Amino acid sequence: MAEAFLTAQELHKSFNEHKAVDGVSFTIYKGEIFGLLGPNGAGKTTTIRMLSTVLEPDSGDVTIGGYSVRRDANAVRSLIGFWPQELALYEELSAFDNLVFFGRMVGLDGKEARAQAAARLELLGLAQRAKGRVDKFSGGMKRRVNLAVSLMGHPELLFMDEPTVGIDPQSRNNIYDTIEGLRDKGMTILYTTHYMEEANRLCDRVAIMDGGRIIAMDTPRELRSQIGPPDQVTLEDVFLRLTGRSLRD
Ligand SMILES: Nc1ncnc2c1ncn2[C@@H]1O[C@H](COP(=O)(O)OP(=O)(O)O)[C@@H](O)[C@H]1O
Ligand SMILES: [Mg+2]
């Protein structure tokens, strides 16, 4: 039996009167890629912000590695990495210096920060550009540096919020390979997307969200098999069947 690493229980969050997240519960097992899938406005980002201690739930709780985001937020933060959609880099510093800086921020000593920085840049295919200033990098390369930053300090669980929105196909494939490589090394990953094909390819299990709720949760294949021969239907078809709407905006 797989070991639960993250458990979300009855999460609620409203903005004004609007229920952005309306009673969300799920478990993520150690070493899996778990996808939160749903159209824009479904509540994916609000959920991931609560899981990662950025936003306090109105009610409900999350435990990660046995620690509560409400009572032990600092312990939770030491277990997680967050790959934000927006860039969070010092443009005038080199890729290497950015990584060392953020490594020091998560408490690494200088030697360890430099060692991890070099290893992360190697992992993401950026070793040749380690000393290059970030403001000279392409958008896709900056995203990869950002991912390298989120891996400093060896997080056990990595959050990614729509990591492939608006990037070129080459960087997108590099990101897919990286995510799979991290999972193969034992990392647990929570990933949001509104791209059905991407979730189908990458995720071990997915939760489909709509209107702040989870409307289905299982392996992509099992979800597909519930509406037809799994090799002939897509997760897009599953969403359409469940909601009567197409997932595309
Ligand atoms: N800070 C906020 N203030 C007000 N409304 C918000 C805020 N964040 C999200 N919302 C609303 O909550 C709902 C869910 O948003 P979000 O979690 O960003 O969805 P997703 O990431 O799936 O696109 C949307 O209707 C959005 O407009
Ligand atoms: Mg979002």
Span 164-178, pLDDT tens digits:
887 778 778 878 888
136 and 164 share one domain: no
Average pLDDT over residues 63-83: 94
Query: Ligand 1 in contact with 45 (CB < 6 A)?
Result: yes
Higher pLDDT residue, 19 or 142?
19
Percent of the chain with pLDDT over 90: 76
Atom 2, ligand 1: residue with shortest CA distance = 15
| DSSP run (H or E) holding 87 | none
Closest CA to 218 of 202, 201, 240, 203: 203
| CA atoms of 182 and 195, how far apart (whole Å) | 20
Distance between the two ends of the chain, CA-based, in angstroms? Answer: 38
Whether residue 42 is contained in a domain is answered as: yes
How much is the pLDDT for 248?
A: 66
Domain at 185, CATH number: 3.40.50.300
Whether residue 175 is contained in a domain is answered as: no
pLDDT greater than 90 at residue 144 = no
Whether residue 174 is contained in a domain is answered as: no
95 and 18 share one domain: no
25 and 95 share one domain: no
Supply the pTM of this predicted model: 0.91
Q: Which ligand is nearest to the CA of 165?
A: 2
Query: Ligand 1 in contact with 40 (CB < 6 A)?
Result: yes
> Structural domain tally of the chain?
2
Q: How far is the CA of 130 from the centre of ligand 2 (A)?
A: 30
